[in-house]
């Protein structure tokens, strides 16, 4: 899974990035590695449910202290972590190329399809 983090004050992505991402996703679908993905809102209606010291609390966003929010996600299937990192690098480059001033990151996380391996 790739999580795109970005500055929450940025407006909607420019049309050039939307078009480039659409083409990129079509290529990933054709290659058989794209499983799911989508954009996420800026967090104005975000809710965090947390368990700490035996107490469950609920806090509604936005979170003013956050400098970045998760703006989108994609679920792709790769043979190795290195391939997933290469895909994340391509996504960051697409944003850099088509969204002037955009700064952010893509975090790569593995989704376990069973119990995690023991250390």
Share of the chain above pLDDT 70, in %: 92
Average pLDDT over residues 42-60: 82
- pLDDT above 90 (res 45): no
Count the residues in the chain: 119
pTM, to two decimals = 0.77
- pLDDT above 80 (res 88): yes
Give me the pLDDT at residue 62, please: 67
SS3 content of the chain, % helix, strand, coil (to 5): 30, 30, 40
Residue 80 — very low, low, confident or very high, per pLDDT cuts 50/70/90? very high
User: Measured between alpha carbons, how far is 68 from 55 in angstroms, rounded to an integer?
Assistant: 27
Give me the pLDDT at residue 93, please: 94
DSSP label at 67?
A: S
Radius of gyration over every alpha carbon of the chain, rounded to an integer in angstroms: 16
Average pLDDT, the chain: 87
- Cβ atoms of 60 and 46 within 8 Å: the answer is yes
């Amino acid at each position: 899974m790739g999580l795109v983090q970005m500055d929450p004050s940025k407006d909607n992505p420019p049309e050039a990035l939307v078009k480039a991402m659409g083409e990129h996703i079509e290529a990933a679908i054709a290659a058989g590695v794209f499983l799911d993905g989508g954009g996420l809102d800026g967090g104005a209606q975000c809710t965090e449910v947390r368990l700490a010291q035996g107490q469950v609390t609920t806090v509604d966003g936005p979170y003013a202290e956050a400098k970045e929010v998760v703006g989108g996600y994609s679920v792709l299937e790769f043979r190795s972590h290195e391939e997933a990192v290469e895909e994340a690098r391509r996504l960051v480059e697409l944003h850099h190329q088509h969204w002037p001033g955009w700064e952010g990151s893509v975090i790569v996380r593995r989704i376990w399809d069973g119990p995690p391996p023991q250390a």
